[in-house]
Structure 1
C-alpha cells in the first residue's frame, strides 16, 4: 500500500525537467516587440508623397533613433528595426538644444516658413544643411512629427 511506484518517480522527474526548460525559454523571450520602423516609414512616406501641405504624428516605442534623408532606424533593448523611405529625401530636424537648426524646428512645430526665414533660398539652404548633418544614434522621443512644407518654389518634408 505504501510502496513507491517506480513509474511515478520517473514521471515526476520528467515533469520537473520539462518545467525548468519551459521556464528558461519563457525567460529568454524579449519583454517587448521590436520597434515598428515600417509603420513610422509609412507615416513619413504618406506625408512626403502627398501633393498638398500635410502634418502627421506617429508614436514611437523605441529607446534610440537614427534618421537620414532616406532611412529610419529604431532600437529598443537588443532589437533594431530599419526601414527605407520611398517618399523622397526627408529633412531630419533635431530637437531644440541638440545642435539642430531652431528655425527648422519652429517650422516643424507649425510656424509658417516665411515668418522664420528671410527668403525661400535661406529655407532651402537650411533644409539642405540638415540633410547632410550628422546621422548618429540619438535618444528617441515619444512621438515623431512629419510636416510637408511648401515655401514658394521649394518643398521639404521635415521630420523630427
Structure 2
C-alpha cells in the first residue's frame, strides 16, 4: 500500500501548513483589476494626433493619477495601472499656472506674452517630476500658436 495512515501526525501538520499557505496567497491577491489607464491614454493620443486644435475629456474614477510626458499612471484601492502615450511628449499641467488657464480654455495669447513664453513654460512642465494628484477627470487640449505646438494634459 502507498497510502499514509490517517492517524499520522505529520500528515495533519502538512495539511495545516498547506491550508495556511493557500489562505495567505488568496489574501494577497488584488480584489479588483488595476484601473484602465489605456482608455485615458487613448483619449490623450486622440487629441495629440489631431491635425487641428482639439480638446478631450476622459472621466476618471480613481484615487489618484500621475501624468508624465510619455506615460500615465492611475491608482485605485492599492492597484496601479499605467499606459504609455503613442503621441508624446505631452505637457503635464498643474493647477494655478498659466498653462492651467490655457488648458481650461483661455487663448494662449492672453495667458502668455509671446509664443516663446509658452514654449518655455511647456518645457519646464515636462521636466518636472510627475506627482500623484486627486483627479475626477483628465482634460487634454492641443494648442498651436505661431509655431509652438503643445498637448496639455491635466
TM-score calculated relative to the size of structure 2: 0.78
Give the alignment of 1:90-129 within 5 angstroms: 90-96=90-96, 102-129=97-124
| Cα deviation code 1:52-97 (max 9, x no counterpart) | 100000011211212110000111112110101011210000123x
Q: Gaps spanning 5+ residues in structure 2: where?
A: 1-25
Number of the residue aligned with 1:158: 152
| 1-structure distance, mates of 2:101, 2:60 | 21
Any idea what the Cα deviations from partners look like across 1:91-136, whole Å, max 9, x if unmatched?
A: 000123xxxxx10000000000001111000000000000001213
Distance 1:131 1:122 in 2: 14
Q: Deviations over 1:17-51 (max 9, x none)?
A: xxxxxxxx7xx762x54211000000000000111
1:143 and 2:134 correspond: no
**Off by >3 Å, runs of 4+ in structure 1:** none
Give, in whole Å, the separation in 2 of the partners of 1:148 and 1:60.
Answer: 20
Q: Distance in 2 between matches of 1:29 and 1:127?
A: 37
How many angstroms apart in 1 are the aligned matches of 2:102 and 2:124?
15
Q: CA RMSD in A?
A: 1.8
- Quick check: 2:74–2:81 contact (8 Å CA) kept in 1? yes
Name 1:4's counterpart in structure 2. none
Equivalent pair of 1:36/1:61 in contact (CA under 8 Å): no
The count of residues paired between Structure 1 and Structure 2 equals 129
